[in-house]
Amino acid sequence: MEKTYFDKAHFWGRLWSLAALGMLMCIPACFCLYYNIWPAAVGVMKGLIAVIPMFWTIAIVEVISYSPMLGVGGMYISFVSGNISNLKLPCAIAAMENAKVRANTEEGEVITTIATATSAITTTLIIAAGVLVFSPIMPYLTDENSIFAPAFQQVLPALFGALGASYFAKHFKLTVLPILTGVIVLVFAPSMGAGTLIPITVIVSLIGAQVMFKKNVV
Amino acid sequence: MGTGDFKISTFMYLLGAFVFVFVICQSAFFITKAWRQGKKIGISSKDMRNTVSSSILFTVAPAIAIVATVLTLANSLGIVLPWIRLSIIGNISYEVTAAESALNALGVAGGISQEVTDKTQFAAIMWVTSIGSCFPLILMPLILKKIQKKIGTVAKANAKWADLMAAAAFIGLISAFIARSIIGAGKEDIIGDGAGIVSVATLLFSIITMLILERLAEKFKLKWLEPFTMPLSMILAMGVAIILVQILPADIAILEWRG
């Protein structure tokens, strides 16, 4: 039986994913080899234990939920280049609308692949250009005594405020419980780092959402 | 940058260039294959060219926004690693979380609000961000083909639940950082590390600005504004932090209630 385009796309995608995985691991490995320093495995493991439960759960949910919209090529491209929900996904959906094709058809597959690949190339070029243009002035912006120093100290509240705002507005009921949990935990353990606090708030948030979903509250 | 020069060394730039070439090659490969297939099944070249040009236009603004997030991480990690990280499986909230977590695990005061000057700590951050984010690359070759056959129907039936769980996981993550900005203690010797007037003001300003900008973009149908609402709120809120530190009496500006 002749292989369909989808079969072939899966074959290429698998090869590229494995190559990307190799490259991803190659970056820290090259750094360690070049400078001949190796961080203590225990430290790295501790850091990983804090993020893996959430990151890997999100990965499963994302692979499953984006899959019907991004098609085969679009998935393999998007999960290598990243920025999916804020860039690749809306781009692919807009392209299908413009070309008047549907997802999960061969036409849709061709259009989403072209759209996500174009988007990945454009993003990569723009980020690289931005880095080259801005890197000479970075030291002046970020010096400890620079007038801009407080801005960089407050990156996290600024980032998570903006990131959270639209989620809070959309899912207010889901928001109250995890924030309250975080605050209460910190009342008793004020120095707890984000790495330890995250698994607690994520698990509480997931359980809360599941309960509210079952009870039809959300 | 003192002892931090290794973060922007030629070697780091070479690693960055390597990632850059890889991502471009993968995309170019898939475009070529899809284009040929498109011609074969009768999609006009004009339609495919339109897809390319509209996708470029669509991407420019969010990509500039990503550059802004690269810059915000550059203080602590140098400019090259955030560039690499946001070019491959990149996502600002993952990178910040993973880097913070790595530094926490190593017992480093201040997390990424301080410049990382130690190569070993930097290497630990590289490993945690890389391994933490690699799972989709393992998962997809294993399951994507199977799930794409089945998932169409299942996801449609449970779309609401799937969306809800993704949102809940994400909200849980954000909540940890928000709680720390409200009431977390910092290290004694680092000003601006613990929660205080400035962190709470920055947080609130960022939330309010974001809500206002989103409302404006929606009400006046400002399509160009949409991708910028988040970076703009973030940068304006960071601006508020600068202004507050300038205008407030020094002892109030550095007040951190939990130390």
ipTM of the complex: 0.75
| B141, B157, B173 - which closes a domain | B157
Confidence class of residue A57 from pLDDT cuts 50, 70 and 90?
confident
User: How high is the pLDDT of residue B151?
Assistant: 57
Residue of B30, B71, B136 lying closest to A59 (CB–CB):
B136
Same domain, B2 and B96: yes
> How does pLDDT run across B195-223, given as a tens digit for each residue?
889 999 999 999 999 999 989 988 998 87
Mean pLDDT across the stretch A193-218?
86
- Those of residues 135-194 in B touching chain A at CB distance below 8 A are 135-141, 143-145, 147-148, 151-152, 155-156, 159-185, 191-193
Nearest to A31 by CA among B3, B2, B119, B106: B119
Are A197 and B195 in contact by the 8 Å Cβ rule? The answer is: no
- Those of residues 85-114 in A touching chain B at CB distance below 8 A are 86-87, 90-91, 94-95, 98-99, 104, 106-107, 109-111, 113-114
- Return the sign of the alpha-carbon dihedral for residues B36, A11, A56, A21: negative
- Give CA–CA dist B106/A207, Å, rounded: 30
**Which of the 8 DSSP states describes residue B90?**
B
Higher pLDDT, B225 or A169: A169
Query: What residue of A is the nearest CA neighbor of B106?
Result: A43
**Strand, coil or helix: what is B36?**
helix
Give the residue carrying structure tokens 């989403």: A112
Report whether pLDDT(A105) > 60.
yes
The total number of residues shown for chain A amounts to 218
Report whether pLDDT(A166) > 80.
no
Same domain, B100 and B14: yes
User: How high is the pLDDT of residue A123?
Assistant: 92
The ranges assigned to domains in chain A are 5-142, 154-214
| B157, B188, B214 - which closes a domain | B157
Give the residue carrying structure tokens 């294959």: B33
| B117, B142, B157 - which closes a domain | B157
User: How high is the pLDDT of residue B1?
Assistant: 41
Q: How many domains does chain B have?
A: 2
- Return the sign of the alpha-carbon dihedral for residues A145, A131, A18, B93: positive
Report whether pLDDT(A25) > 90.
yes
> How does pLDDT run across A67-95, given as a tens digit for each residue?
777 889 999 999 998 887 767 877 887 78
Tell me the one-letter amino acid at B21.
Answer: V
User: CA gyration radius for chain B?
Assistant: 22
Partner A contacted by B100 (CB < 8 A) = yes
> How does pLDDT run across B236-257, given as a tens digit for each residue?
998 999 999 999 887 777 777 7
- CB-CB under 8 Å, A161 with B241: no
Are B166 and A31 in contact by the 8 Å Cβ rule? The answer is: no
**Range of B42's domain?**
1-157
